[in-house]
Structures are given as C-alpha cells and as structure tokens.
C-alpha cells in the first residue's frame, strides 16, 4: 500500500522533527516539511493552495511567538481561510492550535504561570480524537493559552460557546490551580480542523497522549471517504525547501593500515605523568590530550571514562581551519597553507569529512575508539552559522573550527590498564620501538619514573568578572521573553577574564587534580604560519555527541547540578534534582536533542535509554539523560554533528529563536570556544565530542597590558533560565560553576 502524503509546516521549533518521526511511525504516510516563511508561497496564495492539493492532510507545528504575529505564524494562517475547493484536514499543534482557535473567535492570552516542560493530566470525554483513550499525561510547552468564554462550570467546558460557536472543546487541563482551566484540544464543527495544545511527541507524554495522532488520522480517513476524491498528482512533483548538510560515505580505493603495539601496566595509569615521561624523553612536546581518567588512573565514570587519547602532532601535520567572520576555509600541511578559499560552515564540515574518508584506515585494535584522525574544536559561533544565526564579534584571525590531523597517537584503556601505541604511517616501526621503550620504563616499575610535579600557585588576577546586578537583570530579561512565548528556556552565560604566569600545562594539571572529569582536555594549537596560538584546559563532565564505527550515536546532556558538601547526601541531591524546575530543564533538552537527531538523514531508531538519571561525580551530583539513534552505514557521523550544533544544553529551545534572543541579551559578545565542542574524528569511522564547559582557554595575542609573561585566560559559565528560575539562584549557579574552574586554577 503506497504511503499517503502529509505536509508539515514548521514554525522553526526545536521539536518538529520528532513530530514528523511520530507521524511516520504511527501512520501510513510520508511527510514533506516546509517552513512558515517558504519564499515560494508567502506572497503567492495561488501557488500555496495548488501545492496543498498534493497532500492528503496538513500538520501545523509548534513554534515560538504569538499566533497574531504574521512573522511567527506565516503560512499557517492561510490554512484557516481555505475555500471548499482547497479544503483538506489540518491538525494544529501548540502554536498551530492557538492559530486555529484565534482564527475562529478565541482570544490568546498569557498564562499566569507558563508551562514549559511541565507534565500534567489532561481531562477528556473519550470522543473524537480521544475515542478509546485512557488517562492522558502530557507535556506542555507554552506561555500562552487559548481563552474561550465559559461560566466556569464543568458541563460548559464541553459545550460550544457564544464567543467560539464553531469550536468544540475536546480536552482540558483542569489540574493547575494558578492558571485555572487550560484548553487542551478542539475540533471545528464543520471543517476538518483539529488542534491540540500539548506535545504528543514529547518523551514524557504517555502512550495514551500519543494515541491522538492515530485517532486524528482515523477522523481524516472518515472525512476523505465522505468527499469525492481530488485528482491525484505525481508525488515526485512534491519538493520541500530543504537546507542543511549531508554526507554520503564513499569508500576510498585503498584503506590505510594502522600499525600498533599494546603494553600492559603494573598499576593504574596516570595520564598526565605519562605525558611528562614522553616529554622528558622528547617523544612529545605539544601533545593533544583528551583525558577520561582521574588522577589515580581510575575511571571517573564507568560509562564514559574508559579511554584517554594522546595525539602527537608535528609541525608538518595537516590542519583544517575555518573563520566565521571572514568565511574563509584554510587547509595547511608541511608548515604551509596549501589552500585558502571563501566557504561556509557546511563546506568546512564537508572538507573535514573528505579528509577523514581519504585517510580511511583498518587493522587497528577493534575496541579502541581512536586510531588517528582530526582532533580539535568547533566554536559556539560556528554552531550558530549552522542554524542560520549570523555570528557576531568573532575575531578575524581566530579560527572557529580548528582541527589537526593526528597520525601518531597513544590510547590508554583505564579498564584494562593497558596502553596502545598507534601510527597511520606504513613505515613507522622505529618510532613505535622508541615509544615502546619509553613507555615500558614508565609503566613497568613499581615506583613512578617521573616524580609528582610540584604544583605551585603563582598569583591569578581577575581582570573582568560578571557583575551581579547586570547578570540578574539579564535573567529577568530572559524570563520576560519566556513569558511572552518567545522561548521555553534560555541558557544565559557570561565569561570571566583572568591573567596568570602559569603555563597551560601547569593549569591543566591543577584542574585535572582538583576537578577530575570524564571529558577533560588539554590542547595547545599552533598556527601553520602566522596568527595566534590557542591553549585549552578543560574538565568538562558532559558528552555532546559520540558515534561508533558501527553507527551507534549517543548524546548525554547534563541539566541539573547539585554541589557536594558536608550536609549533601545522594538522597537529598535526588530530591533536589526531582524538582519541577530541574526536570523541566532536562526534559526540554532531551526533546530538543531527539528533534536534532530525528532530523538527520540516515538516522533511525531514536530512543532514550536513560531519562533524568542522577550520576555521582567527585564534586557534584548531576541529572543526566542519554539519547541514542542508529546511523546508516552509507552516512557519515559528521552529518549528525553538523545538524546538532550548537549544543542544545547551551542554547535553550526552540534553538534558533533562543540563540537570536541570547545574542541580544548577552550584548553581542562572542562566546568563542565556550559552549562549543571539543573532540575527535576517527579514521576508523567513529567520533566523540564534549561540550566546552568547566574550561579555560587563552589566545596568545590576548595580553595583559604592561605585564610581560602573563597569559590572559577566559572562563565561561552560566545556566538554563526558565520561568521557574529564581533570579538570585541563577546568579549563584553561574558563580558556582565558574568557581569550580577558578578555584582549581588558583
């Protein structure tokens, strides 16, 4: 049986792809998606109505803003004016629901208490799209609600009102005391229009709440059966206005071979001491370190802390750099720039993917996630470019994408207490022998060959720090936007600037000792010719995205943190993290990431194996969720990375509108590396990236005026602002996250 065509009109929401996935999973349909401002139709009603003729039904999606604002609602408003000739069934969800009700006489007003990521029981009478439906528990994402006049008595909730005589109420939220009754669903009495306020696609909407989709389709089929069939047009004439980045994998003619050795250690492996041993023997000078162990060499987190990677670049190593301010993509090798051209962020990702494919390798140890390939970062501003938000304030000589291709590497398996020496060079046995000898001396002695470093604390000077009054005012501004319906959650941030004479490696050894994390990193990146170098010291606890060689993708967002203290127990932390504010923050990001992942070509089976689980770390308890999906072998993991930036846990939702608002609230200051991602692309086919938080970074051209030998460092911190946030609490949360880095560096 052929799939029937449905049109989805996307109002730039961050849950749209999950709705499309739900439609295609539950119904015998194929969904085409267009934006509310599709230029083919905005000023051409005739073309739009002709386009609608290709479909059996339409779903008008959720989004930010107000249904009375043309720029927020766009093409959705045209649906309610369809003549009998063009009439077809429509389901409005959230903003689409509000637009439907507004068009037929209702008012749309602000809620006293917005419902963002809040779950509630929905009352219905088992009729129409709720036929044969049990208890509905549904997730709400709205600051506005539909107001129709009732006399406040329960029977009148189910009757037509004088104000809206064409809209039949189908469901209500009667559980919220502050807001009073909230209309949850309607249908038009004469036209095939339905609307629902809650989000059926949310991970926390129960199965009964999701049944609405199938019940709506049953109503669609009944309506269509009662009408003469419209002449069908060829489905291949339906074209969506699509954008974005996609990579189809092409196998190289011949794969490179990984040569490698395994060494077993007599004791837990301290990665920093291992790097020091390599330096003493001049086997490494500026290694790139992605560390997942604690100071005693044991795993910080059994799920994510098994492997540490030491990349060993050389001055001749290939580098890929992209600058958002000038839109220049630069490729260099052998210490010279080989190519410099105008480009965009999609071309930068395509180039990275091509380089990985050209160097496709085999023969490495199967369970080791990195055999070689690019190690580096993508800045927050580069992430903004991927979603069509013009970056502001980026420096012309500071790359927003910077990767170094690693041919030689050392990977530590903390679980097995083993070390793997690896090279992508076919004739590199002498280097393997030399490195083997160096590491054998270090690993197989009962006492460390390198004495523990003496950690001194040169003074650190704070040059600039957020001011409480200013930050609190920004929190208040965020909440004003949330109450207006412009966003569900805004991740407000700021940066502290400091100076110190300590080296980057000294700062890193302090940070990793005092604030161990499963996604720590030390990177010192040198430009191929001229320009500033960059030092990064990170103790990030959060995986952004990983994908395996077999295509298993995983996101691990953290939203919700409780600092450990003398009086803080796990039970008490779990109670705090189970509060509506903390669970709503986490849920919004989980639903956002499900949307991101569901929108990538070649990704299937998106699911949530872990939802809002409390994990314990050396200094904090954190609320963690895990979202996974499966990537087709014919597609590249880089396409998932490109489709998911910037990290949703650092933006809010809907992502695009939230980022635009945050640019204004944060006064156009670039976040730079902070809130971007750090990680690697493996020539064996995998990849792993962390979110750049709990991190300090320094550009070599950023100097303290009048002080020689001091480096200037930036430390970013922030938090997710919701309508449930307390302004003072947001200030304290930002300071607490910042201090976790500053106190470790001092």
Please write the tens of the pLDDT for every residue from 148-167. Answer: 976 666 567 899 998 999 99
d(CA 323, CA 17): 30
Give the model's pLDDT for residue 546: 98
d(CA 232, CA 257): 55
Mean pLDDT to the nearest integer, 684-713: 89
Give the model's pLDDT for residue 241: 42
Helices in 397-451 by DSSP H: which ranges?
Answer: 429-443
Each residue's pLDDT tens digit, 435-461: 999 998 888 765 555 555 555 667 889
Give the model's pLDDT for residue 236: 46
Q: For 270-745, which CATH class?
A: alpha beta
Confidence tier at 238 by pLDDT (50, 70, 90): very low
Tokens of 720: 């997710």
Give the model's pLDDT for residue 460: 87
Q: Please give the distance of CA 628 from its chain centroid, rounded to a whole number.
A: 13
User: DSSP states of 124-157 as a string?
Assistant: E-S-GGGTT---EEEEEEEEEEEE----S-GGGG
Give the model's pLDDT for residue 100: 98
Burial class (CB in 10 A: 0-12, 13-18, 19+), 266: exposed
Of the residues 94, 204, 478, 553, only one is catalytic, namely 94
Give the model's pLDDT for residue 243: 46
Confidence tier at 235 by pLDDT (50, 70, 90): very low
Each residue's pLDDT tens digit, 635-660: 999 999 999 999 999 999 999 999 99
Of the residues 199, 442, 481, 524, only one is catalytic, namely 199
Give the model's pLDDT for residue 250: 58
Give the model's pLDDT for residue 304: 87
Give the model's pLDDT for residue 229: 65
Do 136 and 122 contact (CB within 8 A), yes or no? yes
Confidence tier at 249 by pLDDT (50, 70, 90): low
Mean pLDDT to the nearest integer, 700-712: 78
Give the model's pLDDT for residue 251: 56
Segments making up each domain of the chain, as ranges: 4-231, 270-745
Give the model's pLDDT for residue 302: 77
Check whether 93 has a pLDDT greater than 90: yes
Give the model's pLDDT for residue 254: 74
Q: How many CA atoms lie within 13 A of 479 on its CB side?
A: 18
**Residues whose CB is less than 8 angstroms from the CB of residue 342 and which lie 6 or more positions away in sequence, other chains included:** 327, 328, 329
**Residues whose CB is less than 8 angstroms from the CB of residue 474 and which lie 6 or more positions away in sequence, other chains included:** 492, 665, 666
d(CA 286, CA 523): 8
CA distances, 126 to each of 74, 131, 198 (Å):
33, 4, 17
Active site residue 416: no
Predicted TM-score of the model (pTM): 0.93
What mean pLDDT value characterizes the chain?
92
Check whether 246 has a pLDDT greater than 70: no
Mean pLDDT to the nearest integer, 419-447: 89
Active site residue 199: yes
Of the residues 66, 101, 145, 201, only one is catalytic, namely 201
- SS3 of 406, please? strand
- The top-scoring range by mean pLDDT among 241-255, 299-313, 491-505 is 491-505
Give, as one character, the DSSP assignment of residue 717. E
Confidence tier at 279 by pLDDT (50, 70, 90): confident
Task: Tell me the angle at which helices 271-280 and 504-514 cross, rounded to the nearest 10 degrees.
Answer: 160
Mean pLDDT to the nearest integer, 621-629: 96
Strand partners, 540: 519
Each residue's pLDDT tens digit, 302-356: 788 899 999 999 989 999 999 999 999 999 999 899 999 999 999 999 999 999 9
Mean pLDDT to the nearest integer, 229-244: 47
Confidence tier at 281 by pLDDT (50, 70, 90): low
Each residue's pLDDT tens digit, 571-593: 999 999 999 999 999 999 999 99
- SS3 of 274, please? helix
Quick one: fold of 4-231?
A: Rossmann fold (3.40.50)
Active site residue 201: yes
CA distances, 628 to each of 299, 394, 546, 649 (Å):
23, 33, 10, 16
Tokens of 676: 């971007």
Check whether 290 has a pLDDT greater than 90: yes
Q: In what order do the strands lie in the sheet with 29-35?
A: 29-35, 4-10, 57-60, 90-93, 193-196, 182-188, 167-173, 107-124, 136-147
């Amino acid at each position: 049986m052929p799939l029937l065509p449905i049109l989805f009109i996307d109002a730039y929401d961050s849950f749209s792809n999950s709705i499309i996935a739900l439609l295609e999973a539950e119904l015998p349909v194929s969904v085409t998606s267009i934006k509310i401002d599709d230029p083919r139709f905005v000023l051409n009603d005739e073309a739009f109505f002709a386009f609608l003729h290709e479909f059996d039904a339409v779903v008008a999606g959720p989004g930010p803003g107000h249904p009375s604002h043309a720029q927020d609602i766009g093409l959705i408003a045209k649906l309610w004016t369809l003549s009998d000739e063009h009439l077809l069934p429509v389901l409005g969800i959230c903003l689409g629901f509000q637009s439907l009700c507004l068009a037929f006489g209702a008012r749309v007003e602000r809620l006293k208490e917005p419902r963002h990521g809040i779950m509630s029981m929905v009352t219905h009478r088992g009729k129409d799209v709720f036929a044969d439906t049990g208890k509905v528990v549904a997730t709400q994402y709205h600051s506005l609600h539909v107001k129709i006049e009732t006399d406040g008595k329960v029977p009148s909730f189910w009757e037509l009102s004088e104000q809206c005589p064409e809209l039949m109420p189908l469901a209500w939220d009667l559980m919220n005391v502050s807001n009073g009754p909230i209309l949850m669903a309607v249908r038009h009495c004469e036209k095939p229009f339905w609307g629902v306020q809650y989000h059926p696609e949310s991970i926390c909407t129960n199965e009964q709440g999701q049944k609405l989709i199938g019940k709506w389709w049953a109503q669609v089929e009944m309506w269509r059966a009662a009408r003469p069939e419209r002449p069908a047009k060829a489905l291949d004439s339906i074209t969506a206005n699509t954008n974005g980045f996609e990579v189809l994998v092409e196998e190289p003619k011949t794969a490179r071979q990984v040569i490698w050795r395994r060494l077993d250690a007599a004791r837990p492996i301290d990665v920093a001491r291992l790097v020091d041993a390599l330096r003493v023997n001049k086997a490494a000078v500026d290694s790139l370190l992605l560390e997942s162990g604690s100071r005693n060499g044991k795993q910080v987190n059994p799920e994510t802390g098994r492997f540490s990677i030491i990349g060993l670049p050389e001055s001749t190593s290939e580098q890929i750099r992209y600058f958002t301010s000038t839109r220049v993509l630069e490729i260099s090798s052998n210490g010279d720039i080989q190519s410099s051209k105008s480009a965009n962020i999609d071309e930068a990702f395509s180039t990275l993917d091509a380089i990985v494919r050209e160097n496709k390798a085999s023969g490495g140890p199967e369970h080791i996630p990195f055999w070689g390939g690019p190690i580096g970062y993508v800045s927050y501003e580069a992430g903004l470019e991927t979603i069509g938000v013009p970056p502001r304030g980026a420096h012309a000589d500071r790359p927003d994408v910077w990767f170094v291709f690693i041919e030689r590497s050392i990977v530590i398996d903390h679980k097995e207490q083993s070390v793997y020496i690896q090279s992508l060079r076919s004739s590199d046995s002498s280097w393997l022998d030399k490195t083997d000898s160096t590491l054998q001396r270090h690993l197989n002695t009962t006492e460390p060959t390198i004495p523990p470093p003496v950690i001194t604390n040169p003074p650190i000077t704070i040059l600039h720090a957020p001011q409480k009054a200013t930050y609190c005012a920004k929190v208040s501004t965020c909440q004003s936007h949330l109450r207006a319906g412009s966003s569900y959650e805004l991740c407000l941030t700021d940066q502290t600037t400091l100076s110190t004479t300590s080296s980057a490696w000294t700062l890193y050894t302090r940070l990793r000792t005092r604030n161990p994390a499963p996604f720590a990193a030390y990177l010192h990146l040198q430009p191929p010719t001229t320009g500033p170098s960059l030092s990064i010291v990170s103790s990030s606890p959060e995986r952004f995205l990983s994908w395996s060689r077999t295509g298993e993708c995983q996101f691990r967002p953290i939203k919700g943190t409780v600092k450990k203290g003398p009086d803080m127990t796990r039970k008490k932390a779990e109670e705090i993290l189970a509060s509506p504010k903390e669970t709503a923050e986490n849920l919004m990001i989980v639903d956002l990431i499900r949307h991101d992942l569901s929108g990538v070509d070649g990704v299937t089976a998106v699911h949530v194996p872990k939802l809002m689980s409390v994990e314990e770390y050396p200094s904090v308890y954190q609320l963690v969720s895990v979202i996974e999906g499966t990537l087709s072998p014919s597609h590249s993991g880089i396409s998932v990375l490109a489709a998911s930036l910037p990290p949703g846990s650092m933006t809010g939702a809907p992502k695009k509108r939230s980022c635009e608002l945050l640019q204004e609230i944060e006064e156009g200051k670039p976040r730079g590396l902070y809130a971007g991602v750090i990680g690697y692309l493996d020539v064996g086919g995998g990849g792993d990236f962390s979110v750049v938080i709990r991190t300090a970074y320094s550009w070599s051209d950023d100097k303290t005026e009048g002080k020689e030998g001091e480096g200037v460092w930036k430390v970013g911190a922030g938090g997710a602002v919701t309508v449930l946030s307390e302004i003072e609490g947001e200030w304290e949360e930002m300071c607490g996250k910042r201090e976790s880095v500053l106190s470790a560096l001092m």
